[in-house]
Amino acid sequence: MSARTLAEKVWDDHVVRRSPGEPDLLYVDLHLVHEVTSPQAFDGLRLAGRRVRRPDLTLATADHNVPTTVGRPIGDPVSARQIEALARNCAEFGIRSYPMGDARQGIVHVIGPQLGLSQPGMLIVCGDSHTSTHGALGAIAFGIGTSDVEHVLATQTISRERPRTMAVTIDGQAPADVSAKDIILGIIARIGTGGGAGHLIEYRGDAIRALSMEGRMTVCNMSIEAGARAGMIAPDDTTFAYLKGRPHAPAGAEWQRALDGWRSLATDPDAPFDREVRIAAADLRPYVTWGTNPGQAVAIDGRVPDPNALADEASRASAWRALAYMDLRTGTAMRDIAVDTVFLGSCTNGRIEDLRAAADVLRGRRVRDGLRALVVPGSMAVRAQAEAEGLDRVFLDAGFEWRSAGCSMCLGMNDDVARPGERVASTSNRNFEGRQGPGARTHLVSPAVAAATAVAGHLASPADLSR
Amino acid sequence: MKAVSRVTGHALPLDRRDVDTDQIIPSDWLKRVERTGYGAGLFEAWCADPSFVLNDPRFAGATVLVAGANFGCGSSREHAAWALEDRGFRAVVAPSFADIFRSNCLAIGLVTTELPEVDVARILAAVAHDPSIEITVDVEWRSVAVPALGYAEPFSLNDASRARLLAGQDEIDLSLAHADAITSYESRRPAWLPRVRTAAG
């Protein structure tokens, strides 16, 4: 067999049926379900008298519109109805669900890896675009719409055209202040929000290898913000050490068998990619977005760019509209932009390492007077671990709110909404207009920059605090 | 899914690139459990501006949305396609689409049509100037025509997608026709792959 990439190997392993002129029918190893994109799919099953083919390969949790204020009931009756619908549907179709209040509840993309359910070589789908997160373990993982959720529930398969392959290689060692979030923001700033369209990205190179599993999840998470079908990283010893001993990871003799399979997944040395992008890690900086899509980012030492410097008319128009929405002027230093709110959390940066990075900056410091700051752990397990490490005290002493798990202010479907005009430094993944609330203005940042910004009251890096 | 072989109608010119699904339908609408009724939320935030094109009565009743590149980027919410459908749109023409949005449209029979950026720019300008201009998106012949411009060009649509649109086929039925292949695949899966204990277990 000719040399193949990681993506091609995993894809080929899941082909149930291939026929010329048709998309491949692929087997789904794990289907994650949440309250927002599933109710209509379950209704469809009922209407057609169909059952869920593999409840044992399906896991549900409530994350998008759960309140994250500890002990608070769901205030919004529409949200309450949706969360009740999930519980009812899971009970009716025999699906395991981790509801609000369960110690295993959390954002789908945080709990999958945490439970050891997301493993190398698997094919994972969920009715959420940030499913690409699970690619960090060497899985093909992608988001689907509700019709496809119904299709997967009924058939445990999904029909997709084979994507093109793309290598994004980060050569060398990243500067010490460049986090995983900065790496992916730097990639998107270079290739654009549609730069990965039609492609499955494999992240490669020394700077990717050096990342922890949490960091790799942050990178793969935002593959969709580059328009990619999915993003993945070849499994290695970091992956295996992360997985070993997790509740759903193989154990005993099966661990060795699994390991042998996982080690064979890496891209063959001479396998060609349809497209290759190389970036020198040394060129990367801590980034912050200035606009209304994740590709509109500059280094924190930079200034709001001049849209007139952009090459094409459509991009210029888009940049001018973004500046108007964000109420920013060309040439303003990013560090001079004052923020009202800091949000630390989401499937992008709500894992334990993210909380540690922020806490390291916050120890012995206070949030700027009048600034609202909240930490929303990605899962109840992350919250418990952070408390065991005393991180909750660091956040509370600094003046942050310490919340329970959910998607929260990443998309403002619960009570955590920014007001019109409110400026938020956010560790989430999207700075779209109105994403965090109608009229709200979002700057995407890393956890360390979020923490430093909370202390300084304006966009800032940790190094700025000691200056 | 309803069969669609051809869409002919007036166009709504949305001259913006990277239109994300949060703009097409804001997340507040995603709390609903219903399948219909999303049309009122279509471009809700932009509609607050009286000069926004969707508020322009000259374009009322448009069935073809013409937009800039990377249309439908962002979230996987099929609600974005549902909102367009509910508002009467039957086809979207743009230089490029986000992959998940394109899949979601296909699943409900909303036709996505990619044309070269210069062609889309020409159609946008013409329609903005004269809302009475008609566009035809022909699924059967894989072509787009704007007679007023003397424009008739093919667009790319793979055989399988074309067949699904023309027949209005339920994809679940199509896949379940291969139930034997699915069962056979399942029998070959490695034993160590994870299984969630089911609700009963």
Residues linked to residue A426 through DSSP beta bridges, in sequence order = A343, A444
Q: What ipTM does the predicted assembly reach?
A: 0.97
Residues from chain B that touch A43, judged by Cβ atoms under 8 A, are: 33, 35
- Summarised one tens digit per residue, pLDDT across range A98-136 is 999 999 999 999 999 999 999 999 999 999 999 999 999
Give mean pLDDT, residues A208-237.
98
Residues from chain B that touch A30, judged by Cβ atoms under 8 A, are: 194
- How would you classify the pairing of strands A24-27 and A157-160? antiparallel
Alpha carbon distance B170, B165 (integer Å):
10
Using the structure block, give the residue that is written with the tokens 């009922």: A46
Residues from chain B that touch A91, judged by Cβ atoms under 8 A, are: 199
Question: Among partner residues B34, B70, B182, which is closest to A194 by beta-carbon distance?
Answer: B70
Q: 3-class SS at B14?
A: strand
* DSSP H or E segment with residue A92: helix A77-93
Question: Among partner residues B117, B159, B175, which is closest to A155 by beta-carbon distance?
Answer: B175
| CA terminus-to-terminus distance, chain B | 36
Contact B172 A438 (CB under 8 A): no
Q: How far is A388 from chain B (nearest CA, A)?
A: 27
Give mean pLDDT, residues A238-242.
98
Residues from chain B that touch A321, judged by Cβ atoms under 8 A, are: 16
Among B29, B51, B82, B103, the strongest candidate for a mutation testing the A interface, having the largest count of A CBs within 10 A, is: B103
Minimal-distance CA residue of chain A relative to B193: A250
pLDDT reading at A282 higher than 80:
yes
- Summarised one tens digit per residue, pLDDT across range A12-70 is 999 999 999 899 999 999 999 999 999 999 999 999 999 999 999 999 999 999 999 97
pLDDT reading at A467 higher than 90:
no
| CA terminus-to-terminus distance, chain A | 58
Q: In degrees, to the nearest 5, what angle opens at C-alpha B96 toward C-alphas B90 and B99?
A: 80
Instruction: Name which of A333, A390, A394 is nearest A359 in CA terms.
Output: A394
pLDDT reading at B50 higher than 90:
yes
Identify the pLDDT of residue A429.
Answer: 98
* DSSP H or E segment with residue A17: strand A15-17
- How would you classify the pairing of strands A275-280 and A164-171? parallel
In sequence order, the 6+-apart residues with CB closer than 8 A to the CB of A139 are A10, A29, A118, A119, A120, A121, A122, A123, A124, A232
Give mean pLDDT, residues B88-99.
98
pLDDT reading at B201 higher than 50:
no
Minimal-distance CA residue of chain A relative to B171: A151
- Summarised one tens digit per residue, pLDDT across range B105-115 is 999 999 999 99
Alpha carbon distance A433, A326 (integer Å):
9
Using the structure block, give the residue that is written with the tokens 């009715």: A127
Question: Among partner residues A81, A315, A411, which is closest to B27 by beta-carbon distance?
Answer: A411
- Tell me, yes or no, if the pTM score tops 0.95: yes
DSSP state of A415: S
Which one-letter amino acid corresponds to residue A105?
A: Q
Instruction: Name which of A315, A265, A300 is nearest A443 in CA terms.
Output: A300
Minimal-distance CA residue of chain B relative to A153: B172
Among A12, A30, A147, the strongest candidate for a mutation testing the B interface, having the largest count of B CBs within 10 A, is: A147
Tokens of B134: 């008609």
Residues from chain B that touch A193, judged by Cβ atoms under 8 A, are: 18, 70, 73
pLDDT reading at A251 higher than 50:
yes
Alpha carbon distance A24, A19 (integer Å):
7
pLDDT reading at A160 higher than 70:
yes
pLDDT reading at A230 higher than 70:
yes
Contact B196 A96 (CB under 8 A): yes
Measured CA to CA in angstroms, residue B74 lies from A94, A222, A436, B98 at distances of 31, 10, 14, 8
Residues linked to residue A375 through DSSP beta bridges, in sequence order = A344, A402
User: How many other C-beta atoms are found inside a 10 Å radius of the C-beta of residue A21?
Assistant: 8
Say how far residue B106 (Cα) sits from the centre of its chain. 7
In sequence order, the 6+-apart residues with CB closer than 8 A to the CB of A374 are A341, A342, A343, A344, A345, A400, A401, A403, A408, A409, A416
- How would you classify the pairing of strands A287-289 and A275-280? unpaired
pLDDT confidence band for B158 (50 / 70 / 90): very high
Average pLDDT, chain A: 97
Contact A194 B198 (CB under 8 A): no
Instruction: Name which of A147, A41, A157, A141 is nearest A90 in CA terms.
Output: A41
Identify the pLDDT of residue A1.
Answer: 66
